[in-house]
């Protein structure tokens, strides 16, 4: 029986998830929950900008090395598959050529041809929105600097441009240990992200 399986190169299909967040403060947990969990293997890139090509992301590069014909790849959004429309399209074509099913949350399975085209258009829209966010953020920072120089406060009433500490790390650690609380419970208590609590506890 073993020789038969080996001679026919029986492949066990795997459900694989890929997650990406742009900053270290963000958590991939919301993406995992949205996709339903229960994956055979997960790959992730944390603190990696969406402007980085898919193959240049450490986690995604490892995924491409691992994934095999018959596997299914699940992602939360189109921009997880590349930096722009061309990169997304190239990535999807590579995966489809490998015999991998590509699932995008809210869109379903992406097929060759029309599915690829729709995905490319959506990727372009996502890229345009990302550029608008960058422009709005830059404009907001400029307005804050000008108001700070003029009045001593930003246009939102803050006294500095810096980001205040959400909580003292030692206080967070002490409370967590004293309460015997989980990371999620501690994050909820202090109004922090799960990744921030993990970072404070690791420190």
Q: Which domain holds residue 70?
A: 2-123
Whether residue 1 has pLDDT greater than 60: no
pLDDT of res. 75? 94
Best-predicted range by mean pLDDT among 13-22, 85-94, 105-114, 159-168?
13-22
% the chain with pLDDT above 70: 73
Residue 163 domain-assigned (yes or no): no
Count the Cβ atoms, other than its own, within 10 Å of residue 53. Answer: 14
Residue 29 domain-assigned (yes or no): yes
12 and 89: one domain?
yes
Q: Which residues of 6-28 are buried (b: 16+ CB within 10 A; e: fewer)?
A: eeeeeeeebbbbbbbbbeebbbb
Residue 150 domain-assigned (yes or no): no
pLDDT of res. 108? 84
Residue 167's alpha-carbon distances to 61, 68, 188, 190, 192, in angstroms, are: 35, 44, 12, 7, 8
pLDDT of res. 124? 65
3-class secondary structure, 200: helix
91 and 188: one domain?
no
Residue 12 domain-assigned (yes or no): yes
pLDDT of res. 178? 85
Q: Give the pLDDT confidence of 139-183 residue by residue, as tens digits.
A: 677 777 777 677 776 666 665 555 555 677 888 888 888 888 888
| pTM metric for this prediction | 0.57
Number of folded domains in the chain?
2
pLDDT of res. 159? 59
180 and 82: one domain?
no
DSSP-derived letter for residue 10 is: -
Catalytic residues: 22
What average pLDDT does the structure give for the chain?
A: 79
pLDDT of res. 195? 83
19 and 94: one domain?
yes
Mean pLDDT of the 43-66 span: 91
187 and 118: one domain?
no
Whether residue 69 has pLDDT greater than 90: yes
Mean pLDDT of the 29-53 span: 89
Backbone angles phi, psi at 153, to 5 degrees: -135, 155
Q: Assign residue 99 the CATH number of its domain.
A: 3.40.50.1390
108 and 179: one domain?
no
Residue 140 domain-assigned (yes or no): no
86 and 183: one domain?
no
More confident residue, 83 or 58: 58
More confident residue, 73 or 179: 73
Residue 137 domain-assigned (yes or no): no
List the single range of 32-36, 62-66, 85-89 with lowest mean pLDDT: 85-89
Whether residue 191 has pLDDT greater than 90: no
């Amino acid at each position: 029986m073993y020789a038969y399986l080996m001679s026919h190169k029986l492949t066990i299909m795997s459900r694989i998830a890929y997650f990406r967040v742009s900053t270290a403060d963000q958590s991939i947990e919301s993406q995992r929950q949205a996709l339903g969990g229960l994956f055979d293997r997960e790959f992730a890139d944390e603190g990696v900008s969406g402007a980085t090509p898919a193959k240049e992301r450490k986690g995604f590069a490892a995924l491409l090395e691992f994934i095999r014909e018959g596997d299914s790849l699940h992602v939360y959004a189109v921009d997880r598959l590349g930096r722009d429309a061309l990169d997304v399209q190239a990535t999807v074509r590579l995966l489809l050529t490998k015999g991998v099913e590509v699932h995008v949350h809210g869109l379903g399975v992406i097929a060759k041809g029309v599915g690829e085209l729709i995905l490319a258009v959506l990727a372009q829209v996502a890229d345009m929105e990302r550029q608008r966010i960058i422009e709005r953020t830059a404009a907001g920072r400029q307005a804050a600097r000008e108001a700070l120089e003029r009045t001593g406060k930003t246009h939102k009433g803050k006294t500095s441009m810096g980001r205040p500490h959400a909580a003292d790390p030692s206080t967070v650690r002490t409370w967590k240990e004293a309460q015997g609380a989980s990371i999620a419970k501690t994050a909820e208590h202090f109004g922090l992200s799960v990744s921030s609590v993990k970072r404070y506890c690791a420190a």
